[in-house]
Structure 1
Amino acid sequence: MNAKNHDFDLIIVGAGPAGFACAYQLRNQDLKIAIIDQATFPRDKICGDALSADVVNQLYRMDQSLGEKFESFAQKIDSHGVRFVAPNHSFLDINYQNPNHGNAAGYISKRIDFDHFLFHQIKNQSNIEVFQSEKVLDIRRNAEGIELKTDKRQLIARMMIGADGAHSIVNRKLGSIKVEKDHYCAGIRQYFEGVTGFHANQHIELHFYKELLPGYFWIFPLPNGQANVGLGMLSSEVSKKKIDLKKALSDLIQSKPDLKERFKNAKALEKPQGFGLPIGSKKRPISGDRFLLLGDAASLIDPFTGEGIGNALRSGRIASEYIFKAFKNQNFTADYLRKYDQMVYHKMWNELRISRRIQMLLRYPKLFNFVVNRANKNSSVRTLLTSMLDNVDLKKELVKPKFYLKLFFGG
């Protein structure tokens, strides 16, 4: 499988969770791999910083020792649940169910720390060469392979992986995913210290204020008494309502009575940072001749929660299987690699589709208020909603009219 007239067998653009997972799974294969990232680690990644149970599970699926290393990783805190705040300001606390590994079903860790932890696991692998602080300027495909030009060098490989995020140059040069405002979210994040009023079990908080729907405002506790605060909205809504996200974030903190009290002694640690989230609310082609797209570059972010790390890791893990097969069979054609698309959507589409429908239900604030009020009064409803967090089949019930009819009539 070794490269002959190529510098590398495989070039992975992007060293975040998706690129990491792909490289890690191929670390013991007879493949010469290059990873190129425009930043130098440790580096920040604008994100909510919450790590779901699926993130932990993906690490364990890749390697038991990797999961165990993460469990002992110090730069994180346990999170044992989520608080949903309805448009009428009533709230519902839901505890995560028992984790499959470790002491918590969820964690929160700054991406500068979590991504550096992942990066540390691959940077010294014998078949992997890492190029940091190199910006990819151009990518061209020919009959022999794919040529890549950075601001420092030119390389050619048999195959390329786009794990370079929402603004992927691999997708731009080789793929066909376009930004569609109704399938894209705009987000903004700001770190604070001194925010008060967190749940004792460090629940993450999702506040569904009427003016943001179908988006939400979030507050996530962080290590060292800090907090990740932000909001995300569909780009189509931002455009239609002409919303300035930075101003909206500041206005919410200063005007909402429940927030104003909690932030009265808080200190902002940075200016608001904007970012884009290409959500997985429609199927798209995520492969082609000699390339695969992973994670955010493949638009695999959950439409309802905005969470993308678990799917990034999963897509990298799945991609490694099809990369190995492609080299084994010396077949890098679009037709052959389309099997990757099929497997990704086989594993993820059901949940992505349901999450999109739940996102659309958020356009009806009275419905959200009703569900939260019923759950607070009825332990059976609360138990059902808890189970829905991790069970896709149960989550389907949320998009069926009969679920709300049962709630209305006390079923």
Structure 2
Amino acid sequence: MNDRFDVVVAGAGPAGAQCARDLAARDYDVVVLETESEDGFPRQSNKSTGGTFPSMLSAFGIPNEVVMNFTDDIVIESPNEHLVQQQAGGVLDFGAFKNYLVNDGQEKGAEYRFDARVSNPITEGGEIVGVQYNGSKEVYGEIVVDATGPAAPLAKALDVSDLKREKQAIGIEYEFEGVDLDVEGYADLTDAMMLRLDHEFAPGGYSWIFHTGEDTAKVGLCYIQNESYQRYADTRRTVDGYLRHWLDTDPRFRDAERIEGRQHRGSAHIQGPGGLSTDNFMAIGDTVPTIDPLWGEGIHKGMRSARAAAITADQCLIPNEPDTSAENVSLYDDLWHTEVAPKMDARLMLTEMLYLAPNDRYDTLLRDLQRLDENTMAEANQGDKLALAKLLHLDDLPLLAQFAKYRLRR
């Protein structure tokens, strides 16, 4: 078995598999180490809602066959209001999507080793030169990529990862049939992806309904155990209990039945990336993390981080004398901040302030968005200060003061 490659990728999630796919297409020798077995893949790591947009599908050549349903609208709900905006999207069968990336990468020449649990970096002179897995097995690469998500065994060992427990969001999702998508008093969710801001069901977070075709939908929620959680949460309820509370009280689920075997749990960190790279090494996907701080969409950003890493590896390895020094690999950092997640700090501030707001402020926010230009929400989501200013009121001064105290404590 070959133990030396141009690039070693730890993790076969969307980011890791896409990075390997891009590199194999450029004829690099790349190996992917994946914890799960090949027969069961991706049973344990099938943890995403799979909501994404046509720009991702076209940019990465993703076939329609892995899309459960193409959607026309994005709906945002608060306790008493809703906003509908036309925005094409797609809800992926996440397992089928991951299998496609792996199979396509293998066809392009990437090697996959399943049942391969990565444990430690192999270092020489303080620099990573390979990976240890399954106890004593070793594999070496000119560049190593950590795409293992929040576990981040390599990034943590190299002091690249700075994932903070208090910024970890937890989530749960079920798939249902018999969902009533057009109930009086609510927005019509036919061919829509809906996000709900409501502390009753997701204190310090949000819940969702993604239509997956006919009367089926993905239904879930997530939250961070932040100050809003501490203020609004019923500590007797687990995340499962909050989802059950929503299912029991929302008329859209009156006749809904869970689809057996279609349950997903996961976690992600809502924070800045900390470190991204060092000598011979890059961290991608949720290892960084790369999830959208406001709405939780992580697939597109994870795929873009994978492509940025592949572009960087290509630059480092093309010359006759490869240069994988931290200085040269830092191209990845530049691409991450300009192409993958620009204005990340501003968008994180918006996220933290949004989740601190009470439920009645969510109603006001949606009324404002209904009144303003349809681009305001998109511009605010991208951290545009003028758009953010349009959404603020004099009554928000106590909220802003609370937010300032929260940031100072952080």
1:210 and 2:199 matched: yes
- Looking at structure 1, the residues matched to 190 and 386 of structure 2 have their Cα atoms a distance apart, in angstroms, of 28
Q: How far 1:341 moved relative to its partner?
A: 1.2
What SS is found at the alignment partner of 1:117?
helix
Question: 1:206 and 1:147, CA in 2 relative to 1: closer, same or farther beyond 3 A?
Answer: closer
- Looking at structure 2, the residues matched to 292 and 129 of structure 1 have their Cα atoms a distance apart, in angstroms, of 19
1:114 and 2:91 matched: no
Question: How far does the alpha carbon of each residue in 1:140-189 deviate from its partner, in whole angstroms, 9 at most, with x for none?
Answer: 22258213222684322222111112222222333432332443211122
Q: How far 1:374 moved relative to its partner?
A: 3.8
Kept after mapping to 2: 8 A contact 1:95/1:386: no
Q: How far 1:302 moved relative to its partner?
A: 0.8
Q: How far 1:37 moved relative to its partner?
A: 1.2
Q: How far 1:334 moved relative to its partner?
A: 2.3
Query: Residue type matched to 2:211 in 1?
Result: P
Residue in structure 1 matched with residue 311 of structure 2 by the alignment: 321
- Looking at structure 1, the residues matched to 376 and 54 of structure 2 have their Cα atoms a distance apart, in angstroms, of 16
The correspondence for 2:76, drawn from 72, 77, 84, is 84
Residue in structure 2 matched with residue 101 of structure 1 by the alignment: none
Kept after mapping to 2: 8 A contact 1:12/1:35: yes
TM-score (norm 2): 0.82
1:364 and 2:357 matched: yes
TM-score (norm 1): 0.81
Q: Which has the higher strand share?
A: 2
Q: How far 1:330 moved relative to its partner?
A: 2.0
Residue in structure 2 matched with residue 185 of structure 1 by the alignment: 169
Question: 1:112 and 1:313, CA in 2 relative to 1: closer, same or farther beyond 3 A?
Answer: same
Name whichever of 152-161 and 335-344 sits farther off: 152-161
Residue in structure 1 matched with residue 408 of structure 2 by the alignment: none
Question: 1:361 and 1:339, CA in 2 relative to 1: closer, same or farther beyond 3 A?
Answer: same
Residue in structure 2 matched with residue 276 of structure 1 by the alignment: 267
Q: How far 1:351 moved relative to its partner?
A: 4.2
- Looking at structure 2, the residues matched to 174 and 238 of structure 1 have their Cα atoms a distance apart, in angstroms, of 33
- Looking at structure 2, the residues matched to 167 and 238 of structure 1 have their Cα atoms a distance apart, in angstroms, of 26
Q: How far 1:12 moved relative to its partner?
A: 0.8
Question: How far does the alpha carbon of each residue in 1:211-255 deviate from its partner, in whole angstroms, 9 at most, with x for none?
Answer: 434411111112464321111111335874545111111112213
Kept after mapping to 2: 8 A contact 1:110/1:222: no
Consecutive unaligned residues in structure 1, runs of 5 or more: 60-65, 97-104
**Number of equivalences:** 374
Residue in structure 2 matched with residue 221 of structure 1 by the alignment: 211
The percent of aligned pairs where both chains have the same amino acid is: 19
Residue in structure 2 matched with residue 172 of structure 1 by the alignment: 156
Question: 1:210 and 1:238, CA in 2 relative to 1: closer, same or farther beyond 3 A?
Answer: closer
What does residue range 151-300 of structure 1 map to in structure 2 within 5 Å? 153-197=137-181, 199=188, 201-211=190-200, 212-223=202-213, 225-237=215-227, 240=230, 241=233, 242=235, 244-255=238-249, 259=250, 261-269=251-259, 270=261, 273-279=264-270, 281-300=271-290
Residue in structure 2 matched with residue 46 of structure 1 by the alignment: 47
What does residue range 57-136 of structure 1 map to in structure 2 within 5 Å? 57-59=58-60, 66-67=61-62, 70=63, 72-73=64-65, 75-86=67-78, 88-96=79-87, 105-126=88-109, 128-136=110-118
- Runs of 4+ in structure 1 off by over 6 angstroms are none
- Looking at structure 1, the residues matched to 96 and 215 of structure 2 have their Cα atoms a distance apart, in angstroms, of 16
Kept after mapping to 2: 8 A contact 1:140/1:148: yes
Query: Residue type matched to 2:90 in 1?
Result: Y
Question: 1:262 and 1:208, CA in 2 relative to 1: closer, same or farther beyond 3 A?
Answer: same
- Looking at structure 2, the residues matched to 306 and 52 of structure 1 have their Cα atoms a distance apart, in angstroms, of 13
Question: 1:36 and 1:361, CA in 2 relative to 1: closer, same or farther beyond 3 A?
Answer: same
Question: How far does the alpha carbon of each residue in 1:99-139 deviate from its partner, in whole angstroms, 9 at most, with x for none?
Answer: xxxxxx3100121111112222111223x211123222333
Query: Residue type matched to 1:24 in 2?
Result: R
Question: How far does the alpha carbon of each residue in 1:21-80 deviate from its partner, in whole angstroms, 9 at most, with x for none?
Answer: 212222243421111111226514211110124422531xxxxxx25xx2x425421111
- What's the RMSD between the two structures over aligned residues? 2.9
Question: 1:209 and 1:299, CA in 2 relative to 1: closer, same or farther beyond 3 A?
Answer: same
Query: Residue type matched to 1:80 in 2?
Result: D
Question: 1:239 and 1:215, CA in 2 relative to 1: closer, same or farther beyond 3 A?
Answer: closer
Kept after mapping to 1: 8 A contact 2:179/2:217: yes
Q: How far 1:396 moved relative to its partner?
A: 4.0
Query: Residue type matched to 2:82 in 1?
Result: F
